[in-house]
Structure 1
Amino acid sequence: MGIAALVFDLDGTLVDSADDIAEAVNRTLDDLSLPRVSEATVRSWIGEGVRRLVTTALAHARSTRPLDEVMPTFMRHYRDCLLRSPRLYGGVVEVLQQLQARGLPMAICTNKPSALVPPLLDHLGIAGHFAYIIGGDTLPQRKPAAEPLLHAAQLLGQAPAHCLMVGDSATDLGAANAAGMPIVLVRYGYPRDLDLEAADAVAVIDDLRQLSACI
């Protein structure tokens, strides 16, 4: 494919953070005297940014509280829970080291607020592998819009067609297709209702260590 750079999604692709995000949601619901929800339920909501996450949680609880009134409370809990128990998926460190050794520059493109990404990468020991971070608030648009990936490609100095997106969801797939960027999807993340087998992807892999075979 002539891949010269890679762009990684974060949550559900490199990091399993669903339990921490669920705890932030549930602490917010506690503060609103609303019932808690399961980690599996929150996992099905992850991927479209924090405002969409909280909107979905409020709708699920049939709450009419204004979103802008709830967001400061959620963001406080989100920051408090950020480093509670995140873990890297298997093979992440090994693969990032191999890609860096091959001289392939890498960026993160996530819908997570940008200020929360560096502390998480530092905590997990992988910050040094990424030249750029594009968060959900870096641009006016966020995935599945094309702009975040186009911006990542520009920062990496490559045409979108020469970058490879690695993600786990319909949000990632939509962004990659809109940007004209090839994508590899992982099966182990937060696919929600995405039919991975029917997705227009270069490959769908079970383990990130299979990525090198796709480049």
Structure 2
Amino acid sequence: MLQNYLFDFDGTLADSGTTTVDAIQVVLADYKFTQPSADEIRYYMGIPIETSFPIWTDHQADDKTLAAMYADFRQIYGELERVNIKLFAGIKDVLATLKADNKELFVVTSKASGAIKRSLKQLAIEQYFTGTIGSDQVDHYKPAPDGVLNIARQYQLNLDQCIMIGDAKYDLQMGNVAGVATCGCKWGAYDVASLEKEKPTYLIDYPQELLTLR
């Protein structure tokens, strides 16, 4: 029986529209790097900027430049997110129902820990979550299993009762390596076929289906 629900954030709980794409393109343009297309950016969404930005810069940016780009991205993203971000339809009701059923809810995200706490508060869903873990709280980023395993260790969770829920293949890969059940979410996915290739335990179309998982 599932007891612990570990959610990705962007594309799973929340729809931030073109926020990520816009912020990445602005920063790369500011630093005179070629702008990738929106589709190219979406392909890598789900992993931290510390992994994707070296790719966008073709590994030509030094550590000092990358650090400045990360800071600029987070500032621009935060400004855009305050305007653009919204919950996917039905998510809040699903979270409330799971919580009322005494399930433990967590967020495992590639966002920094401060950013995810800010986002949950802005969307008025922070009260549903027992804990969160951001990219600055793991030694290895998605798709490594650190996020799941750190949450499990911190809260003494039984892995057999955990499920990792996300819209990107990196979420499913992380869950698979960690040894927990996985659920691919089509409603926010850029590439559903990539989710199918990971052979998740569940692959669902709508948030309400989360209430049927066992």
Verify same fold: TM over 0.5. Answer: yes
Which amino acid in structure 1 is aligned with residue 52 of structure 2?
L
Which amino acid in structure 1 is aligned with residue 199 of structure 2?
D
1:72 corresponds to: 68
Identity of aligned residues (%): 24
Structure 1 residues 77 and 178, CA, compared in 2 at 3 Å: closer, same or farther? closer
2:97 is paired with a residue of what secondary structure? helix
Give, in whole Å, the separation in 2 of the partners of 1:70 and 1:139: 19
Give, in whole Å, the separation in 2 of the partners of 1:51 and 1:18: 21
Moved more, 145-154 or 132-141: 145-154
Q: TM-score, normalised by structure 1?
A: 0.88
Q: Say if 1:132 and 1:155, in contact at 8 Å, map to a contact too.
A: no
Q: In the TM superposition, what is the alpha-carbon distance from 1:175 to its structure 2 partner?
A: 1.1
1:84 is paired with a residue of what secondary structure? helix
5+ long unaligned stretches in structure 2: none
Superposition RMSD on alpha carbons, in Å? 2.0
Spell out the pairing of 1:24-63 with structure 2 (5 A cutoff). Answer: 24-59=23-58
Spell out the pairing of 1:191-210 with structure 2 (5 A cutoff). Answer: 191-192=190-191, 195-210=194-209
Q: In the TM superposition, what is the alpha-carbon distance from 1:18 to its structure 2 partner?
A: 5.0
Give, in whole Å, the separation in 1 of the partners of 2:126 and 2:75: 18
Which amino acid in structure 2 is aligned with residue 64 of structure 1?
Q
Give, in whole Å, the separation in 1 of the partners of 2:111 and 2:21: 14
Q: Report which of the two has the higher share of helix.
A: 2
Which amino acid in structure 1 is aligned with residue 29 of structure 2?
D
Q: Say if 2:140 and 2:146, in contact at 8 Å, map to a contact too.
A: yes
2:101 corresponds to: 102
Moved more, 92-101 or 31-40: 31-40
Spell out the pairing of 1:1-215 with structure 2 (5 A cutoff). Answer: 2-17=1-16, 19-59=18-58, 64-82=60-78, 83-192=82-191, 195-215=194-214
Q: In the TM superposition, what is the alpha-carbon distance from 1:121 to its structure 2 partner?
A: 1.0
Q: In the TM superposition, what is the alpha-carbon distance from 1:35 to its structure 2 partner?
A: 4.5
Structure 1 residues 68 and 17, CA, compared in 2 at 3 Å: closer, same or farther? farther
Which amino acid in structure 1 is aligned with residue 60 of structure 2?
T
Q: Say if 1:5 and 1:164, in contact at 8 Å, map to a contact too.
A: yes
1:48 is paired with a residue of what secondary structure? coil
5+ long unaligned stretches in structure 1: none
Moved more, 75-84 or 116-125: 75-84
Q: Say if 1:21 and 1:78, in contact at 8 Å, map to a contact too.
A: no
Moved more, 23-32 or 178-187: 23-32
Moved more, 21-30 or 125-134: 21-30
Please list every run of at least 4 consecutive aligned residues from structure 1 whose deviation after the TM superposition is greater than 4 angstroms. Answer: 191-194
Structure 1 residues 54 and 13, CA, compared in 2 at 3 Å: closer, same or farther? same
Q: TM-score, normalised by structure 2?
A: 0.89
Aligned length: 211
Give, in whole Å, the separation in 1 of the partners of 2:192 and 2:57: 20
